[in-house]
Chains A and B, each alone.
Chain A
C-alpha cells in the first residue's frame, strides 16, 4: 500500500523516531521514486521508421507496385501467347506509345479531343448553372429541374448519337451535343442538391447582412455548396470523357483531324494493334491526371482546407 506508506515516510524525514516500519516505508517510497524516474527514460515516443517501412505507408508506391505487377502479367501472357495481332506485348504497346508521342500524332489527337471536351464541358456547366439559378427563383423552375434531371439523367449519351447524327450530321457538332447532354444533367443534379442543402443558419446569416441576390448567390450559396459542386464537376468530367471517346469511335473525324477515339479506330483498321493499346493507355493516363491532380489539388485548396468535405 504505497499511498499509506508515504505519510510515515515523511514523518521520519522530519526527525520523528518512527522505528523500523517507517524506515522500510521510506525505502519503499524512495524505491518507487527511483523506478518512476527510470521509467521516464525508457520509452521513446517517436521512433524513426526504416526507409522500406516508410515507403510502404505511401499509397502511391503500393499502387505503383500493383500496376507494375499487372504490366508484368500482361508481358508474360503476351510472350506466351506469341500473337502480335490479337494481344501485343506490354513493351510493344509502350514502344508504340513512345513512337506516337514523338511523332506528335497521338498528342495532336489528344489535343483535338480535349479541345472539343473543354468546349462542351463549359457549355454543360453554364447550362447547369443557369438551370439551377432558374430553379431557385421559382417553384416551376425547381419542378422543371427535378423532372428533367430525373428523366434525362437516365438517358445514356451514346443513345442520342443516332439523333445527333440526324440533326447535326457527321463530325464534332454531334459529339458536342452528346457531351453537353452527358455533362449537364449530373452537374445540375449536384449543384441543385448542393444549393438546397445549404444550412438554414448560413442562409439567415446572409439575409441578416441584407445581401443582394447576386451577392447572396456568389458569397453564400456557391461557397457553401462547393463540396457538391466539385462532386458535380468530377462526375461531369468522368461522364464527358467516356462519352467523348465512345462517340469519336463511332464517327469522330472531320477534315482529317480526329481525336483519340478516332486514333484508336484508325489504328485498328491498319492492324497496328500495339498503337491501339497505346491509345488506351493514353486515355487512362489523362483520366488519372485530371482526377488525381486537377480535382485533388482543387479540393485540397478549398473544401479540405475549410473542413467542409463530408
Chain B
C-alpha cells in the first residue's frame, strides 16, 4: 500500500444497490431494485419518473422512514438507519403543518425539538424564516387559515429552519394550482441562492425537473430502476434549445417505458 495516497473522501450522499420492498395483505412488492446514485454537496437532484417508479419510496428511505431490504444509504459516510433532523423533509400533503400550532409556532416547535434551541432564540429564527418566505403577515394564522401555497411555503420555511444539510422534498408543489406552482418554483430557487443546501426533489413533472434541477435522474417503473441521468443547462439560459432537447429525450425515454407501466 502506498502510504502517501489520499483516500477518496466519501461522497456527500451515496445510495448503493438500494432495494426497497413493502408488503400488501397479499404480496411482497419490490418497489425499487439495485438503485444507485451519488449526490454532491449543493446539488439540486431531481428524482423524476412516472407514478409507481418508486421515486417517493427512495426519498423516504433516504429520510430513514423506510428500512432498505438491500443495499445501503450513506450520508457523509454515515449509514442512514433512522429518521433525523439532518435530513429535513417537505411533503406533498397540505396537512404536514401541525394544525394546532400557528405558522410561527410550527417553526418554533421544529427548531426547539430538533435543534434543542432555547425558545427565545427559536422565536427569533422562526420570524426570520417566515420573513424569507413572505409569510410575516400570517405568523399567527393557523394552518387551516392559510392557502395551499402558503401552507407549503410555511412547511419549506419550517424545514429550512432545521438547518439540515440535506433537504428532501416529496412533490411539494404537486397539489398546487398551476399559477402558485410556478411562483413556488421561482421562490424555491431564490431561497436556494440564499441558503445553499443540498436538495433531493421528487417530481413527475418534466417541466418542474428542468426548472429546478442541477441534475435529473430518470426512473423507470416496476420495479424502479435508474433509467438515465441528465445535467440540464443553467436556468438563466431560459427555455433554450438545451432544455428543449432534454425534454425530447426524457419524453422519448418515458414513451419507451410506457409499455411497462401501462399494464
Contacts and interface: CB of A to CB of B under 8 A. Distances in A.
Partners in one complex: yes
Interface of A: 199, 201-202, 204-205, 207-211, 215, 219-220, 223-224, 226, 302, 305-308
A207 B83 contact: yes
Nearest to A222: B100
Given A201-B95, A204-B65, A208-B63, A215 B83 contact: no
A264 to B, nearest CB: 42
Contacts of A202: 95-96, 98
Nearest to A308: B99
A306 B99 CA distance: 6
B93 interface: yes
A306 B144 contact: yes
A305 B85 CA distance: 29
Given A199-B93, A223-B100, A209 B113 contact: yes
A211 B113 CA distance: 7
A21 to B, nearest CB: 44
A305 B82 CA distance: 34
Contacts of B109: 219
Nearest to A212: B113
Most buried by B among A208, A209, A308: A208
11 contacts: A205-B98, A208-B85, A208-B87, A208-B89, A208-B114, A209-B114, A210-B114, A223-B100, A302-B100, A306-B100, A307-B143
B77 interface: no
A209 B164 CA distance: 11
B145 interface: yes
B138 interface: no
Contacts, number: 66
Contacts of A215: 113
Contacts of A302: 100
Contact of B93 (A201, A209, A210, A308): A201
Contacts of B113: 209, 211, 215, 219
Nearest to A223: B100
By secondary structure, the A interface counts as: helix
Contact of B91 (A204, A305, A307): A204
A210 B143 contact: no
Interface in B156-196: 162
Contacts of B144: 306-308
A207 B143 contact: no
B96 A201 contact: yes
Nearest to A226: B100
B95 A210 contact: no
A306 B143 CA distance: 8
B63 A199 contact: no
B83 A208 contact: yes
Nearest to A203: B65
A208 B65 CA distance: 8
Contacts of B82: 207, 210
Contacts of B114: 208-210
> Which of A207, A209, A210, A220 has most chain B Cβ within 10 Å?
A209
B49 interface: no
A199 B92 CA distance: 13
What 7 pairs between A and B have smallest CB-CB spacing? A307-B144, A209-B114, A207-B83, A201-B93, A223-B100, A306-B100, A209-B113
Contacts of A207: 64-65, 82-83
B83 A307 contact: no
A210 B85 contact: yes
A208 B88 contact: yes
Nearest to A204: B65
A220 to B, nearest CB: 8
A246 B38 CA distance: 70
Contacts of A211: 113
Nearest to A303: B100
Contacts of A210: 82-85, 114
Contacts of B100: 223-224, 226, 302, 306, 308
B142 A204 contact: no
A215 B100 CA distance: 15
B156 to A, nearest CB: 13
Contacts of B84: 208, 210
B96 A205 contact: yes
